[in-house]
Amino acid sequence: MVKFFNKKIDMHEMLKQTWESFAIQGEIVTGLSDMLKKLIQIDLHYIAEKYGIKQLSKINDMEIIAKLLKLMTDRKKIEIILMVASPDEFDLFLKILDMDSMGIDEMPYESYAFPMDYGIIFSFYHQERRYPVVPEEIKDIYSNISVKRYLPNTEKGISCFANT
C-alpha cells in the first residue's frame, strides 16, 4: 500500500489492472489470424506500424490483417525479432513455447513487452488470469530456425534489425 494524497493505493492491484488492459479479453485462440482479429483497433494499428505498414487510416482492418499475416510469418523477420530480444525475453519466449497455457498474473508486463509489440507473444485475459500465447505460425517458424546462429549475439541482431 502506498499513501497518495491521503488515500491508500494498492500498487499491486493498480499494476494488475494496467496489465489486464494490454491483454486480449476473452477466450484464448492460438492462430495468428484469429489473434489479430481479436485485437482492438489501436493495438492492431500499433503492431502494423511496427511492421512498417503505412496509411493505416485508409486501409480497413481485414486488409491490415492480411498484410500483417504476410509480414509476421516471414522467417527472416522472426529471426531478427528473436535476435534482438533480451535474454530474459527470449527465455520467456522459450517457456511459453513449451507450454499450452501458463498463467502470468505475477509476471511484469516489461518481461514480455518487446515480443508482444511484434506479435511473437500475445497476452490474453481469460477467467481472471493473464495468459501469454505464441501463435501456432510462429511456433512452426521457430521450430525451423537454427537458434545457435543468433542467440548469443544481441548486438549483431540490433544492427541486422536496423537494416531490414
% of the chain beyond a pLDDT of 70: 68
Quick one: cell of 50? 511496427
Q: Which of 68-77, 122-131, 149-158 has the highest mean pLDDT?
A: 68-77
Looking only at the bridges linking them, the beta strands covering 24-25 and 122-126 are parallel
Residue ranges per structural domain of the chain: 2-28+75-162
pLDDT in tens, 79-119: 999 888 888 888 888 888 877 655 565 566 666 778 888 99
Listed in sequence order, the DSSP H helices in 8-131 are 11-22, 32-38, 41-50, 61-72, 75-84, 87-97, 113-117
Strand arrangement, sheet containing 122-126: 24-25, 122-126, 129-133
CB 154 within 8 A of CB 56: no
Q: pTM of this prediction?
A: 0.76
Find where cell 487510416 sits: 57
Going by pLDDT thresholds of 50, 70 and 90, the confidence category of residue 155 is very low
